[in-house]
């Protein structure tokens, strides 16, 4: 019995070895010899014997993989349009300012914008208005609450001598700090805004010149210090447009501008006249 058991065991072992060998694919031909080589194998040699590894796999939809190396992307990437940003909002236009009786520009000034926002009687307070005049520039500039309101064109006294007014009849426009003390209609000028010339400084200067014999005499006595200086319209618009100083000492503007100034400037408005 022992011999029979050993013989059966030997047969089973032999059968197992045969089955294991049958499951292992045999290498034949050049591929078998190439697989048994211990030296490095080139891609060309592998391709000749049919053992070239498969090409890299790219998932569907992945056309290009950035390898991190410099170089242009493939054509299909270059041809892809790049979306451009579109503005999400449009610029806000400047508000249109409408002031009754005043011609405003298309682009309102800071003073006009501030005036348009006024909801009380602040526009009637003379402390909120001021006027600056430049004789050489032919400018009359109006400010509202310290901000530019409007720039007007003006002409002045026809004297060929520069400087401030010194006495009556010298045809000079005063220079200094004044206020509007009266507004009244005028047959010739439509409206007349009277200034408080002569002020205290004008009187002091006149008295010094009179006592020094510098004031001219008329009918045996010195002429007066003068007066009735103000801002008014014109009956010579051509001269105004030509920057011709033609008045006897007043400040002349166009009739429409004179109407606007009458509406805007209350009594007591500060007026500074510069050379």
Q: pTM for the full model? A: 0.65
For residue 192, the surrounding DSSP H or E stretch is strand 190-195
pLDDT at 35: 47
Distance, in Å, from the CA atom of 145 to the CA atom of 118, rounded to the nearest integer, reads 11
Coil, helix or strand at residue 140: strand
d(CA 266, CA 62): 79
Look at strands 230-232 and 139-144 and give their pairing: unpaired
Residue ranges of E strands in 40-171:
129-134, 139-144, 147-153
Q: Which fold has domain 110-274?
A: L,D-transpeptidase catalytic domain-like (2.40.440)
- Give me the tens of pLDDT residue by residue for the chain, a chain 275 residues long: 555 556 555 555 655 555 555 444 444 455 555 445 545 555 555 555 555 544 444 455 544 445 444 445 554 444 455 555 555 556 655 566 677 768 777 789 999 999 999 888 988 999 999 999 999 999 999 999 999 999 999 999 999 999 999 999 999 999 999 999 999 999 888 899 999 999 999 999 999 999 999 999 988 899 999 999 999 999 989 999 999 999 999 999 999 999 999 999 999 999 999 99
Q: Check residue 245 and give left, alpha or beta (phi > 0: left; psi -120 to 50: alpha).
A: beta
Please state, for a pLDDT cut of 90, what percent of the chain lies above it.
56
- Cβ atoms of residues 128 and 122 within 8 Å: yes
> How high is the pLDDT of residue 225?
95
- Secondary structure element (H or E) that encloses residue 179, with its range: strand 176-186
Long-range contacts of 201-205 (CB under 8 A, 24+ apart): 201/176, 202/164, 202/165, 202/174, 202/176, 205/166
Q: What is the pLDDT of residues 63-81, one digit of tens each?
A: 444 544 444 555 444 445 5
Q: Give the per-residue pLDDT at 119.
A: 86
Count the neighbouring beta carbons within 10 Å of the beta carbon of residue 262: 20
């Amino acid at each position: 019995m022992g011999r029979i058991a050993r013989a059966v065991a030997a047969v089973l072992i032999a059968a197992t070895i045969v089955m294991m060998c049958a499951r292992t694919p045999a290498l034949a031909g050049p591929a078998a010899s190439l697989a048994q080589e211990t030296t490095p194998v080139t891609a060309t040699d592998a391709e000749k014997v049919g053992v070239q590894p498969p090409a890299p796999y790219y998932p569907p939809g992945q056309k290009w993989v950035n390898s991190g190396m410099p170089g242009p992307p493939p054509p299909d990437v270059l041809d892809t349009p790049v979306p451009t940003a579109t503005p999400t909002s449009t610029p806000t236009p400047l508000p249109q300012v409408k002031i009754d009786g005043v011609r405003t520009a298309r682009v309102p000034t800071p003073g006009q914008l501030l005036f348009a926002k006024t909801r009380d009687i602040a526009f009637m307070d003379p402390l909120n208005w001021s006027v600056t005049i430049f004789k050489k520039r032919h400018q009359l500039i109006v400010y509202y609450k310290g901000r530019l309101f409007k720039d007007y064109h003006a002409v002045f006294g026809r004297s060929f001598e520069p400087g401030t007014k010194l006495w009556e009849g010298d045809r000079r426009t005063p220079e200094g700090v004044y206020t509007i003390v009266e507004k009244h209609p005028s047959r010739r000028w439509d409206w007349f805004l009277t200034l408080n010339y002569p002020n205290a400084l004008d009187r002091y200067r006149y008295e010094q010149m009179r006592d020094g014999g510098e004031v001219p005499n008329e009918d045996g006595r010195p002429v007066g210090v003068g007066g009735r200086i103000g801002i008014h319209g014109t009956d010579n618009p051509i001269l105004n447009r030509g920057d011709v100083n033609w008045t006897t000492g007043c400040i002349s503007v166009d009739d429409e501008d004179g109407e606007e100034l009458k509406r805007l400037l209350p009594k007591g408005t500060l007026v500074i006249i510069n050379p």
